[in-house]
Structure formats: C-alpha cells, structure tokens
Structure 1
Amino acid sequence: MKMNRTLFLITLLSTFAMQGQDSLVSNIQEVTQVADTVKKVPQRYKVEGVAAVVGDYVVLDSDIDKGYLEFQQQGVSTEDITRCQLLGKLMEDKLYLHQAVQDSIVVGDAEINPEVDQLMQYLTAEIGSEEKLLAFYRKNTLPELRSELFEARKSLKLAGRMQAKVVENVEITPEEVREFFFAIPEDERPVFSAEVAVAQIVVEPEITKEAKQTAIDRLNEMRQDILENGVSFATKAGLYSEDGSKTRGGLIEGVKRNSQYVKEFKDQAFSLLEGEISEPFETQFGFHILKVDKIRGQEVDVRHILVYPEVPQSSIDAAREKIETVRKAIVDSTITFKNAAIQYSEEEDTRNNGGQLVNPVTYDTWFDLTKMDPELSAKVYNLKPGEVSKIFVERDRTGKASFKIYTVTDRKEEHPAEYVTDYERIKELALKEKQIRAIEDWQNKQIKETYVNVNEDYQECEFSSDWVKTSN
C-alpha cells in the first residue's frame, strides 16, 4: 500500500471515529508534547508560498509544516512521511472541501462554537496560561487564535461529512467479509488488542440549598446592575460567566429548537423577546441568566452568564464516606457491583444498566485497551474481571468533584484474528477497505473534473493520485 494511501486511511478512520464522539477534547493529545516536536519539522520553501491549488482552495507551504505538527499531536510518527506525501493528503482534504461546497453541505457556526470554546479551555489548561497559549501559536489575541481554530474545525467537519456522503451507501455482505478474511495469509492476519468491558459507580457531593441560593443571588445582582445601571450584559459575561462563551461576552449564535442544548436553556431562549433578560434558571450545568440578542426567524442569538454553586466540604466528606461504604459492601460480597450501581450510582446514563459503560465510537460495551481514553485505561488496565478499583476523585469541566469506582465485567486478551469469534471486527475492517476503494474511485473522478495546479517545486513528487498530470 502506498504511503499516501496510508495517510488517507489514518484520516478516514480518525474522522469517522470523531463523528461518534460526544466531546472534541477526548480526541486531543497532550499539547505540551507538541512543543518538543517543532524542531523536527523540516524547514524549507518560501514563506507562505503556494504549494498547490485545488478548486477554490489553496495549500500553502506553511500548511505542510502544520500538517507535521498535527500528525505528531495525534501520535502518528512522521519520520517516514515526506513533504510530497503530506501535500498529497492536504490536496485530498481540499478536494473534499471543494466538493462539499458544490454539494451544498453545510456546517453551522452554532455547531462549531461550543467545540472551539471547549478546545480553547483545554489548550489553556494544558499549556498553563492564555499568554503561553498565544505565544505557542504565535497569535496576538485570543480572538485571532479562536478564529483560526474555528476555521480549522469547520473545515474538518465539512471534509468529514463529504467523506461520509461518499461512503454512505457502501455496504458489505457476509460473503465479502469471508473473502476478505481468507484472502489474508494466515501469518499476516491481524492481531486484535486486548479488550475490556467496564462498569462504574459514581457518587457526587450534594449541592446544598444554601449554595444554590447564593448562586441565584449573584445572578440577580448582575441582572439588576444590567437593567438599572446600564451595565453591558456582554461585559458581565466576560468577567463572571464560568463557561467557554465568556471569551465572546457569553454569545451563543444560531440557537434552534432542535439544537443540542438542554431543554431549560432552549425554553428560555424562545420565550423571551429581543433584548429581554431572563430570571435566573437552573440546568444540569449550573445557574444561568440569558438575554436574547437577536431573533432571526427560527433561530435566536443569545448571551448567557453561567454560575456554578459552591460545594461545601461537608457534602464532599459525605460523598466520600458513601462510596467507601458501597465499595466495602461489594468487596465483602454483600452486594454485586451491578446491583450497587443500580441502587447507589448517581450517573444517570449508566446507572440503570448496572453501571456499564458504552464505547462512544462503536456503541457497544467493549473498549480496546490501546485506543480507550488514557485516563480510563490507567484505572482499569490491571483489573481482573470482577475486581473493584480503588476510589478515584474526578472533576468535570465545571471543576465539580465526583467519586468513582470501576470494575472490569469482562475481558478479551490480545489474540490473532479468528473468523467466527471476531466476525464483527473483521467485518468492520472489510467494510473500511471497501470504503477506501469507493473513495479512491470518487477521488480519481473528481480530480479530473476539478481545477488543480501544483507548484513546480512539487512537480517531481510521486503522488498516489494523478495530481500533476491533471495540473493546469
């Protein structure tokens, strides 16, 4: 398989995997590791020189340099990846973007903004401060950096949806799966990594009525200051809101009735007139006040301020005592982990299933130990089936702590692929191979129908697709 096709496979699989994730952050590697890789990026070519043009999109020489960093961030070795190979991949990306526009595929700003907010928070936390973050990305202001991350994320979404559209009707039959597997020489068949099925019990410290009232009082004071003293809502949000939208003065654009926001938030957004400010209201994330900035047909632009109630130490101590008692009961075999989760866990998504976690990529209960979230992997890697982990303290994006224990409910050790027992995983590989062929056919067709121009510096590259021959 040619290297550029390997690059393409990495991109295809990572894109499909990302579409199954609830959170962008879970796909991001340690940013601080990237600083050590900058010196490894080959330096050449004129600043901001144009490497290629594909349709309405330009690939710059500096984009190739950034491409090396992106692969490093994803944990992909770049030692054997040449600039020609990386340029080929970038041209493929631009081809998807170009065709996405032609096919009227749309990604709304409201879909991207929360992800970028989350990403900005994560990067700042990892690097240490906003000043260090700006220095690392060589930007003067946070809005400038946010704009670049926004465009990159939006382009990635568009390309991913174009890829998904190309393969949406590709299916695989049992006979094709059988032919795929037995065509692989026995000594070359894939080795599947160890997999585990994991369950959890979560206990959260109780937020007292007094803490909730304090949060409500804070928001009422802000609301009164805005209404009576003419203070800007955006200014208050920028100073005091405790979520990612604070960098934009609390602005959230393009909220629709079917948007992925909680019901209470949407109810407020669509019950107010333009310019009105809500009373404080509660969601699962905390307490808010909301202002409708603009009504645009079936969409509204809003600003909000989010405040988290303080959790008293007495609640934290009570939660720890509760989970210690639950864990001891499980270890002493006076209750099963499953029944304990049903009775005592406070995580609604898993409680009724006996605490069983669902893989957000495959939607089953199996997790590949080499691919699962590193933090979760470290907690369960050495657990034997039925063994209970120690108690872990975990914090969500609000900073609120919760106590968790885990168990491995089942485990498969690393083993060579077997047709019967590993049929579903073999089927997935066979389908991916067929999807790759479908996209290669699509790509070759689109290259012929799209304006392509490759800079003379790259005319001697051996691309896996015929970019140079069709160059105009």
Structure 2
Amino acid sequence: MMRLKTRNLKFINKPLALLLLVTTSVFAQPKKQKVDGVIGVVGDYVVLDSDIDLEYIQLKAQGVDTKNITRCELFGKQLEDKLYAHQAIQDSIIVTDQEVNDYMNQQIDAMVEQVGSIEKVVNYYNKKDEEDFRSFFFDVIKMNKLTSQMQKKIVDEVEITPEEVRNFFKEIPQDEIPMFGAEVEVAQIVIKPKISEQEKQNAINKLKGIRKEVLEGASFYSKVVLNTDDKASIGTGGFYKITRKTPFVKEFKEVAFSLAEGEISEPFETEFGYHIILVEKIKGQEIELRHILIKPKVTDEALKQAKADIEIIREKIVKGEISFEDAAKASSDEKETKNNGGVLFNPQTMETKFELTKMDPALYNQIVDLKVGEVSLPYLDQEERGDKYYKILTINNKLPEHKADYASDYLKIKELALRDKQIKAISKWMEEKIQETYIKIDKDYQECDFTSNWLKK
C-alpha cells in the first residue's frame, strides 16, 4: 500500500528472540555440505555463509515461501541485525545471561518436543554435542534480543502530532486510500455466580490447615503442588519474584510487603480467590516468595441462579423496560465494561470497533448472526483462569467495508502515519550508523543490490 510498501525483508520487527521452532519436515531435509566462511563484518559482529542457510530454515519453519527470496536479501537482513546489535552495545543496552538462558531453555524444550530428542536438534545444526549447540544458540538469542531492543529504542522515540496525521492522510492519492473491513461495536453484560459464605469459609479453613502443617515442618513447595489453584506457578512451587511495581493486585502486594523473611501470612482474599504467602528472601526492594491460591467452589445451584438472573435482565431489555446500556451499568459483574454500558474495547486498537475479519473467533461466533440492537441468548463462558459466568451480547453499531475516512477512522490512520514515520526514522538511523561503523563485505556479495548503502559508495 502506497508509501508503506517496503521490500519483503526490510524493517520486519523480529520477536524478542530468534524463533527456531523448526518443524519435523524441516529436520527431515537433507543437509548441503559446504565450506563455511565469513562473508561480512559489522562492528564486532561477523556474518557467516551458514547464517544465510539458517535464515532460510527459519523462514520455511514459519511457513514463508522462500523461492523468490535471494541470498543477497537475506545477507542484507543479516547485516541490519548485526548493526542493531552492535549499536545496542554502544548504547549500553543490557541483555542478561539469565534472560537469554530462560528463553533458550523454553525454545529447546519446544524443539525437542517437535522432533523427539535433543540429539536430533544437535545433529541437525552440525554441533559436536549439546554443550556446543547451547553455546551457539546462546549467542544467536543474545544477538537477536539486542537487535530487537535496539529497534524498539529507535521506534519508541518516534511520536506523531495530529497535524502530521492530517498531512499524511492528505498526501495519499485518492486511488490508494486504504480500505478498512466491516466493523462492529459490541457490548455485553456479565453475571457471575455468587459464591456462598460457606464455600469461602471452606477455602479459608483449608489454607489455615496448610499453614499450620507448614509451621509444624511440612514442605511449602509440596503443599503448593498438591493444593494450589494457580496453574501458572504450580511448576515452580508457587514461586514469584516481585517489587512494588510488579503488576500484581494491590491486596497481594500489600500482604507480601508486610511480611518478614520466613513468615507465612494468614489467609487473605483477592479477586482471584484466597491466598497464603511465604516470604523466602527480601533483597532490598525485591521479594522472593511462594504462595498458594485456593478458589472457593462454585456450586451448580449458583451457576443456575446466575443464568436465571441474566435471563430476567435480558427479558427486561427485550421488552424495552430498560436499555442495554443502563442494564449493564446497573447489573453487570464485569468491572472493565460496566461503567461504559458494557461496550467492549478492542485490545489491539484500544477502540470500541472490531474489524470482523480480525476478531477473536470465539467472540465472532457469538455475534455473527446478531442484528444491530438484537440481544443474544445467554452464553456460558469462561475466563482464562477458569472461572465460569453467563453473559448476553448486543451489537450497538455495524460499519460496512469502506474507504478510510479521516473523522471516523482517525485512530487507524494515526497508526498508519506513525508506522510510516517509524520506517523513515529507521532508514535515517541506518544511513547514519552505516557511515559510523566498520563494515566489510566479501567480494562474492559486492554485486548485491542492497537497499542500504553497505558498500559505502
């Protein structure tokens, strides 16, 4: 599309680290034996001929058709990545070994799961043993984390004014004005089953019993594994490392920071359920702790009552006794949307409009047959953490596919304008840093038609 078009590989935002999740079919391909060698140098980094082969493997593993991607293009991308990483070090961007090792372990586990054994992974990359492979993989991941953070630093410094957005839109030729897909504005009312006082007390009593057993010598770690409802931390024995800025709920942090080393809290409540915390270490403003979460049970009767309550609300809306918006404000149990009349926000755009083709499939299936103003039947849904609830939905507004309109599509146009300015900022940064950095290109690649001036002509 217009100015935003760039060549296939330039300015692609890499993920925070290299994705080497190669598929079984990729591992099954025969290896080509060739003599490896240095084909480029950027600052303190070298580009090997084998790096280009590795790029092809990665792209194929991600489903990219590589038949029209040349070695020159991939070499240019390697040079860019090396320049980002080199400059990241000059700018004192830090990537810790722990951060790299944690990510590396996750990726290796995923590769082994796909192909069956670490030996197959090691053999494919033609490394002597697992230690040799880990050393190689560590360097790859660290460089790519530096690359990603340097790119982020450049684009994060780019801001755009309303005047720039307006000028950007005015400069788009009429026949190149982008089309935006059909959009909807969706609202919902959520009714959660009420937890009985008895079930709450059962959870508290269970935690009190666990606390007593730990104080008498039982292993807190074991109690976590056997009892916690926090599935995210069960594998680490309920372990978390937090500061006051960690995005945990306020009640959890208040209790954690009130405890001394080795102390176990009494049971306390958050929106997730009931907890106890054991503080293991206090390091300045950082706390290392373990916790156990117990969620009070939701009875079948409570779920039936929630359904009955939402059916009554729906009936009043359908009869015109109350608007959907007022019913949401009065009765919805979803605090994020309650005060907004139940209107959902698109987490990708932070607008209230959802493009149908990019909508979450589960939500799309729930609203696809609804007309504007129509109220759905009650749905039994479930939060990520497993809590069940009932909801009803309506469509407040539907917009058909249309050409971008400055007034109604301002936020989308602003995003396009910002991306355009970021691309220009990266190009300018690249031009300047190439001139400042030691660069050497092997003679076999000096005929490449690079996008950037790597040959400093």
* TM-score, scaled to structure 2: 0.76
- 1:388 and 2:390 are equivalent in the alignment: no
Question: Unpaired runs of 5+ in structure 1?
Answer: 16-30, 124-130, 141-148
Distance in 2 between residues matched to 1:308 and 1:46, nearest whole Å: 59
Secondary structure, aligned partner of 2:433? helix
For 1:224 and 1:396, locate their aligned partners in 2 and report how far apart those are by CA, in whole Å: 32
Output the amino acid matched with 1:356: V
Question: Paired residue for 1:342, among 329, 344, 347?
Answer: 329
Q: Residue 175 of structure 2 corresponds to which residue in structure 1?
A: 187
**Is 2:401 the partner of 1:414?**
yes
Residue 135 (1) aligns with residue 117 (2): no
Q: Report what 2:361 is aligned to.
A: 374
How far does the alpha carbon of each residue in 1:104-150 deviate from its partner, in whole angstroms, 9 at most, with x for none?
A: 4568999999x99xxx9xx9xxxxxxx9995227577xxxxxxxx99
User: Whole-Å Cα distance in 2 between the matches of residues 336 and 367 of structure 1?
Assistant: 22
* Cα shift at 1:224: 2.5
Tell me by how many angstroms 1:351 deviates.
Answer: 0.5
Q: Is the 8 A contact 1:54 1:452 kept in 2?
A: yes
Note the residue ranges of structure 2 that are not aligned, 5 or more in a row.
119-136
CA–CA separation in structure 1 for the residues paired with 2:170 and 2:427? 24
**1:445 CA displacement:** 2.7
1:158-197 equivalence runs, <5 A? 162-172=150-160, 176-197=164-185
Question: Do the aligned residues in 2 keep the contact of 1:48 with 1:61 (CA within 8 Å)?
Answer: no
Preserved CA contact (<8 Å) 1:64 1:87: no
Counterparts in 2 of 1:341-360, with a 5 A limit? 341-360=328-347
Q: How does 1:193-232 map to 2 (within 5 A)?
A: 193-231=181-219
Deviations 1:304-339 (A, max 9, x none): 122222211111111111112212222222211101
The separation in 2 between residues aligned to 1:441 and 1:249, in whole angstroms, is 49
Aligned to 1:26: none
Deviations, residues 233-272 of structure 1 (Å, cap 9, x unaligned)? 223323433321221222112x111221111111122111
Identify the match of residue 403 of structure 1 among 364, 374, 390. Answer: 390
Q: Which moved more, 1:220-229 or 1:88-97?
A: 88-97
In the alignment, structure 1 residue 275 sits paired with structure 2 residue 262? yes
In structure 1, give the amino acid aligned to 2:55: I
Shift of 1:381: 3.5
- Equivalent positions of 1:64-79 (< 5 A) are 64=55, 67-68=58-59, 71-72=62-63
- The Cα shift of 1:163 comes to 3.5
Q: CA 1:385 to 1:363, structure 2 compared with 1: closer, same or farther past 3 Å?
A: same
Q: Quote the Cα distance in structure 2 between the aligned partners of 1:221 and 1:49.
A: 65
Cα distance, 1:212 vs. partner?
1.9
**Separation in 2 of the partners of 1:47 and 1:395?**
55
Structure number, greater radius of gyration: 2
Paired residues of 1:3 and 1:85 also in contact (CA < 8 A): no
Change (3 A) 1:425 1:298: same
CA distance in 2, matches of 1:151, 1:281: 45
Q: CA deviation at 1:401?
A: 0.7
- Aligned partner of 1:363 in structure 2 is 350
Following the alignment from structure 2 to structure 1, what is the Cα–Cα distance between the partners of residues 322 and 139? 52
Tell me: CA distance 1:213–1:2, structure 2 relative to 1, closer, same or farther (3 Å): closer
Does the Cα contact within 8 Å between 2:185 and 2:395 map onto a contact in 1? Answer: yes
For residue 124 of structure 2, what is the aligned residue in structure 1? Answer: none
Letter matched to residue 434 of structure 1: K
Instruction: Out of 2-11 and 382-391, give the one that drifted further.
Output: 2-11
Report the Cα offset of residue 444 of structure 1: 3.0
Q: Which has the higher mean CA deviation after the structures are superposed, 77-86 or 286-295?
A: 77-86
Give distance in 2, aligned partners of 1:401 and 1:150.
42
Asked if 1 retains the 8 angstrom alpha-carbon contact of 2:24 and 2:115, the reply is: no
Distance 2:207 2:444 in 1: 60
Residues 112 and 78 of structure 1: CA distance in aligned 2, closer, same or farther (over 3 Å): same
Count residues with an aligned counterpart: 430
Q: How far 1:439 sits from its partner (Å)?
A: 1.2
Cα 1:409–1:40 change in 2 (3 A) is farther
Task: Give the alignment's Cα RMSD to 1 decimal.
Answer: 4.5
Deviation at 1:78, TM superposition (A): 6.4
**Partner Cα separation in structure 2 for residue 462 and residue 40 of structure 1:** 33
Structure-1 separation of matches of 2:12 and 2:369? 29
Amino acid of the structure 2 residue aligned with 1:194: A
Contact 1:41 1:69 in 2 (8 A): no
* Shift, 1:151, TM fit: 11
Whether 1:265 aligns to 2:252 is yes
Q: Which moved more, 1:104-113 or 1:179-188?
A: 104-113
AA aligned to 2:173 is P
**In structure 2, C-alpha distance between the alignment counterparts of 1:298 and 1:286, rounded to whole Å:** 26
Q: For the residues of structure 1 that align with 2:263 and 2:287, how far apart are their CA atoms?
A: 12
Query: TM-score, normalized by length of structure 1?
Result: 0.74
- Residue identity over aligned pairs, in percent, reads 46
CA contact (8 A) 1:256 1:300 kept: yes
- Counterpart of 1:247 in structure 2 is 235
